[in-house]
Structure 1
Amino acid sequence: MFVFYLVIIVLLIILCFRLDFLLGEKNYQKKNQPAVYPTRHGQLDFLDTGKTFFDTLFNDIRAAKTSIHILFFIFRNDSLGSQLIDLLVEKADEGVEIKVLLDRVGAGLDKKGKQRLRDANVSFAYAKSPSFPYLFFTFNQRNHRKITVVDGKIGYLGGFNVGDEYLGRDPKLGLWRDFHLRFEGEGVQDLQTQFLRDWEEAGNLPTSADSYFPSLEEGTQPFHFISTEGEGLEALFFEHINKAQTYIYIASPYFIPSSSLQRALCDAAKRGVEICIILPEKKDHPFVKEASFKYIEELLKHDVKVFHFQQGFFHAKALLIDDTFCDVGTANFDRRSFDINSEMNTIISDSSVITLVKQRLETDMKQSTLVSDRALQKRSFSVKIREKLARIVEPLL
């Protein structure tokens, strides 16, 4: 009888979690719609190594005169994080206004790091704190955006977070491949707007200053942002995948598509579109790699090429189609980014940046192993068990 009651209790708990998640997701999506920002013309720099990204970011922060606004999903107080904290404290002492917004669950910043920021009068807050009545859903609904705005004139958006692993210092993961964009001129105001929206949504008082939105020069490179709250990005990808005529390149650390996107990719392959998907060989989270196998297995039957990156860990997020549609941002090609997380992506129309992204992806494919159907069929019993477990929690991956 004890076992019977225990099973009943476990099933009731699972049911409560499931109802909490479904009702919370429905309620959240009623209140939050994707924000599609207008087309801008600015100056874009494509950054694909940790050293280049952090050197450039730190130099811009050192040169800040009025404000520094930072939003990251992860911010560790390790060697790299401590350097950034030191720099922010130094700029705060110079009178620069600083706001730091981190995801409540993902951040990883310890008490010492937070206290150093607060002692320097840096405004600090957490985004997406779990709350009632939908505790389980809000625990999973993360702010995954990575935005930095300096003086309202320079902006950053992409995949890098703050931690030693992003410089390739994790011995298990090695080199870290990621994509980030640096913006100057027109368009930075949209990153500023989104940061301030997230700052206010985190429970802070509305804030604004003339220096946040200075006059910005119009550049030559067209792009626009799309900011999503668990809805909107999947539909955009679906639309452009269905329009593909020549090729589709997908880059993501995790590959767990919705059923509609999986069908769209299969249909594109059937009509002769070359599809290449680049994923990491190594994994930084449990179950995510195993969760991708059933999708990869089906795509391989339609002659889709799937690559496992061998040079380190692959964390870049991009979708490139026919040299005309290029998406680089914070969203992974997975259910969590499409259905739950707060994300922000850049839709790039400039041919020179598209060429850089394409060249980087094609180079990384050459440094990757092509996944074969035969190798996938030989996966071990333990891998198959993890794969079955992954299917249970797939909507959260």
Structure 2
Amino acid sequence: MQALESFIHFALNWYWVPLLILYIGLIGAILIENRNPTKTIAWILVIIFIPFIGLILYYFFGQKFVKVQKIKKINRQQALRLQYQWKRLEPTMESFIRDIHAEIGDLSRVFRLMKNERLSSPTLDNGVRLLINGEEKFEYLKNDLSHARHSIHMEYYIFEVDNIGREILELLEQKANEGVAVRLIVDSFGSPDLVKYMRKNKDTKILFQPFLPVTFTSLANSNYRNHRKVTVIDASIGYIGGINISDRYINADDSTDKVYWRDTSVRIEGMSINMLQIGFWNSWNQTDGEPFLLEQGYLKVIQDEEERKKGKASVGFVASDPASVGPFNMEALLIAIGEANTKIQLCTPYYIPGEELERALIIAAAAGVEVELMIPEKSDSNLVHFASFSYLKPLLERGVKVYLYKKGFLHAKTVNVDNKLAFIGTVNLDIRSFYINYEIAAVISDAQLCGQLGNQFEEDKLYSHHFTLNEWKKRSRWKRGLDSLCRLLAPLL
């Protein structure tokens, strides 16, 4: 009994010693990792000022992705497998970039980035169709799925088992039973209901793989999400954008109590689909799914010149993941912003830009480019919402126009530069999308599509409030204080 009392007395008086050693060791480990300094400081502040809970948060969400080295190895292996074809296409890619430069000038440097970093081969003569909201996308998607003859590849962050989700699943099952190769990847964190549904559906012929399965031992990996929304059909038709498979993206005419969702995707036809297919192949090889060879009919082969021309769009894709050697989506945006001459229009649901993007937008505005940023008036995340407002003041002070979308929730992730170059994809203008998530964006040079995107931005402005610097200054002190507090956590969001 006396020994127990002595132990309790020792523990109560000296508990801080092992805790101090743990804190010093953990902070030292964070410093040794050589992360972004802002993120390093943010995690150290969380660990110090939120005792115990900070340690738990770091354990689950702060550690470097345990599979990063494995993903880097896979990326290297697959790059080597494509190396011969890439070298063979070098003269063609250079010719395409010269043609693109003749159309859009130095904005073509974005396509050169894609080529030099081997992200995507630039392609010409693609057909593109802008799709606004789920009610447009799903009609085209269901029709294209029903006509599939060889393969269907889908990769989604959110795939709900709701009305539209079940419709899509029925179509996929039907096509799989007809002999079409159907492969479906969903993010385990974003689509838990579908993961459970597919585990119960043992008889399905759909080749299904959850991406980064979340268990208690791998809970830290849930911080790294496959945020992509991609479909590839018969190596001929592709879909990419912000619209997941979910009823929330469908704005029915008779819906009065449902939040209006404003989003954007694009349907693409042409040789660029080969690049999208290779991207899916890369994702599939990071799951436990049985490998497949691209040469088995999964790449589009053009028989004649007439078949190659689906439209007038130049298209490439910028993909990034936690193991990427750089934040490629941000780098592509920085190039485009730096080459803008007249106007930049940006839509994002989450604006936590980091210093590089913030400074690029400020410089563009100061140099006489009209820069317009649209974000939701109300977000689905209060923490992100307040953090976003802390980043608006420097923009407003330097002439960037900010619009708060009021009609519903703005979920579109688009950038339109000079009505000559468009980014449409899954990438939010935040640190998570640039550095942490698996993301992808289509980069499109097409006068008609860019004009439509510009017109849509003007229409969205009719449902938005032009937020001024004076209004920002009139916000209450507690709100501005909350903005600043949430900003401290911004690198971790």
TM-score (norm 1): 0.89
How far apart, CA to CA, are the structure 1 residues paired with 2:152 and 2:123?
Answer: 22
Q: Is the 8 A contact 1:118 1:124 kept in 2?
A: no
How far apart, CA to CA, are the structure 2 residues paired with 1:44 and 1:266?
Answer: 31
Structure 2 residue aligned with 1:20: 63
Q: What per-residue deviation string (whole Å, max 9, x for no partner) do you get for residues 353-395 of structure 1? A: 1111111112112221111233333445664565345224312
Question: Aligned ranges for residues 1-397 of structure 1 at < 5 Å?
Answer: 9-10=52-53, 12-13=55-56, 16=59, 20-21=63-64, 35-41=118-124, 42-110=126-194, 113-115=197-199, 118-129=202-213, 136=220, 138-168=221-251, 174-208=259-293, 210-216=296-302, 217-219=307-309, 220-230=312-322, 231-380=327-476, 383-384=479-480, 386-397=482-493
Measure how far apart 1:95 and its partner are. Answer: 2.4
Higher RCO (C-alpha 8 Å, min separation 6): 1
How far apart, CA to CA, are the structure 2 residues paired with 1:347 and 1:156?
Answer: 13
SS at match of 1:77: coil
Measure how far apart 1:161 and its partner are. Answer: 0.2
Structure with greater helix percent: 2
Q: What per-residue deviation string (whole Å, max 9, x for no partner) do you get for residues 309-357 of structure 1? A: 1222111111122233321111011111111111111111121111111
Measure how far apart 1:291 and its partner are. Answer: 1.1
How far apart, CA to CA, are the structure 2 residues paired with 1:179 and 1:118?
Answer: 34
How far apart, CA to CA, are the structure 1 residues paired with 2:157 and 2:62?
Answer: 27
Structure with greater strand percent: 1
**Structure 1: where are the runs of 5+ without partners?**
none
Q: How many residues align?
A: 395
Structure 1 residue aligned with 2:114: none
Q: What per-residue deviation string (whole Å, max 9, x for no partner) do you get for residues 67-106 of structure 1? A: 2111110001112111111222222222222111001111
Measure how far apart 1:300 and its partner are. Answer: 0.9
Residues 381-390 or 176-185, more deviating: 381-390
Mark the CA change 1:11 to 1:199 in structure 2 (over 3 Å): closer, same or farther. Answer: closer
Residues 313-322 or 200-209, more deviating: 200-209
How far apart, CA to CA, are the structure 2 residues paired with 1:197 and 1:26?
Answer: 15
Q: Is the 8 A contact 1:128 1:202 kept in 2?
A: yes
How far apart, CA to CA, are the structure 1 residues paired with 2:321 and 2:247?
Answer: 28
Measure how far apart 1:36 and its partner are. Answer: 1.9
Residues 104-113 or 26-35, more deviating: 26-35
TM-score (norm 2): 0.73
Q: Is the 8 A contact 1:154 1:182 kept in 2?
A: yes
**Structure 2: where are the runs of 5+ without partners?**
1-11, 20-49, 77-116
Residues 338-347 or 367-376, more deviating: 367-376
Q: Is the 8 A contact 1:228 1:342 kept in 2?
A: yes
SS at match of 2:352: coil
Mark the CA change 1:18 to 1:112 in structure 2 (over 3 Å): closer, same or farther. Answer: closer
Mark the CA change 1:355 to 1:151 in structure 2 (over 3 Å): closer, same or farther. Answer: same
Q: Is the 8 A contact 1:281 1:309 kept in 2?
A: yes
Q: Is the 8 A contact 2:242 2:425 kept in 1?
A: yes
How far apart, CA to CA, are the structure 2 residues paired with 1:299 and 1:9?
Answer: 37
How far apart, CA to CA, are the structure 1 residues paired with 2:234 and 2:204?
Answer: 19
Q: Is the 8 A contact 2:240 2:267 kept in 1?
A: yes
How far apart, CA to CA, are the structure 1 residues paired with 2:60 and 2:200?
Answer: 37
How far apart, CA to CA, are the structure 2 residues paired with 1:158 and 1:15?
Answer: 31
Mark the CA change 1:238 to 1:40 in structure 2 (over 3 Å): closer, same or farther. Answer: same
Q: Is the 8 A contact 1:85 1:117 kept in 2?
A: no
Residues 279-288 or 213-222, more deviating: 213-222
Measure how far apart 1:28 and its partner are. Answer: 8.0
SS at match of 1:212: coil
SS at match of 2:429: coil
How far apart, CA to CA, are the structure 1 residues paired with 2:356 and 2:341?
Answer: 18
Q: Is the 8 A contact 2:195 2:210 kept in 1?
A: no
